[in-house]
Amino acid sequence: MDGHWHNVLKKVWIFLGLAGFATLLANLDATAGTNTEAHAGWRLVWSDEFNQPDGSAPAPSKWRYDTGGLGWGNRELEYYTLRTNNSRIEGGKLVIEARREEFDGRHYTSARLLTLGKAAWTYGLVEARIKVPHGQGMWPAFWMLGTNIASAAWPACGEVDIMENIGKEPGTVHGTAHGPGYSGLGIGGSLTLPGGAAVADDFHVFAVECKRDRITWLMDSRPYFTLTPTNLPAKSAWVFNQPKFLLLNLAVGGNWPGDPDASGTFPQKMLVDYVRVYEKLGPAGN
C-alpha cells in the first residue's frame, strides 16, 4: 500500500479506534497483491494464504488429509499423518514436514493434503508459491486429480502434476499429465534452472492454466510446456474437461526419486506461501 493511502486511512482511526484501524490496515495490506496486473483478465475465486496462528493445522474448511503408509502405488517410504508434526502453519506459510521416525511400521512420516469434497475446478489458472526441500529421495508435488476418481478410477479420472521435483535432479521442475493410454510416465515437459541453480534455493510460483483443449505449465510466469489433445497417443481420451481437486504432498523415496541415502538430512520441509485459483473473465474454458 502506498504512502498516500496510509495517510488517508490514518484519519479514520477516531471512528474505528486504534485496534479496529490496525485490523483494517492489516487486512488491506494483506489483500493488496492478491490480484496483480500479471493476472489481468482473471478473477480470484479461491485461495489459502495460510494466515492462521503458528502451530495450527491447515484450515479444515479447505483441506483434508490422505493418511497411511501403503506406498501409494509408487513404493514411497513415508506414512502420511494428520499430525501438526507433519503439516502446520508457521509464519504465514504451510509447512509440510518429512521426518525420519518410526511410525506404524514405516521409517518416515510426512503429510498429503487435498481439497477433495471442499473445492474443485474445471478450468482456470491454478498457482502456488512454494519452496521445495532438497536432498536425495525427496519428492515434493503440487497436483490435481479428477473428482470422479471414486467412480472412474485412476487414470481415467485424469491427473495434472503442476509441479514435481526430485532430489537427484535439484535444478529441474517437471509438469506432467496422466490419463488412459498415457498413464505410466505420462506426457509432460520440464524446466531446468540456469547456472546450476537448485529449485530448493528459493520460493517459486508453479502454475497451470487449464482450458477446454489446452493445459499450459508455468514456473515464475514462464510457460514451459503445453498439452493439447493432438499430443495424446492415438485413440486416447482427453479427460481434463471435468472438475479437479488440488493436492500438496511431500513423499519420501519411491520408484522415481529413489530412496534417501547417507547424504540426506531430516527433517525436510516443503513451504507453501499461498495457493490461489483464478477464473478467466469471459466464456468458461476459453
CA distance 154 to 161: 14
CA distance 134 to 146: 29
Displacement of CA 232 from its chain's centroid (Å): 25
Helix (H) or strand (E) holding 107: strand 106-110
Burial label, 190 (beta-carbon count in 10 A; 0-12, 13-18, 19+):
middle
Question: 96 and 111 in contact (C-beta within 8 Å)?
Answer: yes
The number of beta carbons lying within 10 Å of the beta carbon of residue 145 is 21
User: How many helices, marked H, and strands, marked E, lie in the chain?
Assistant: 3, 17
C-alpha dist (Å) from residue 251 to 77, 108, 167, 192, 237: 8, 9, 11, 21, 29
First to last CA, the chain: 33
In the annotation, is 164 catalytic?
yes
Here the cell at position 171 is 535444478
CA distance 234 to 228: 13
C-alpha dist (Å) from residue 79 to 40, 54, 282: 41, 24, 43
Q: Which of 97, 127, 159, 209 is catalytic?
A: 159
Q: Which of 76, 127, 164, 209 is catalytic?
A: 164
Catalytic positions are 159, 164
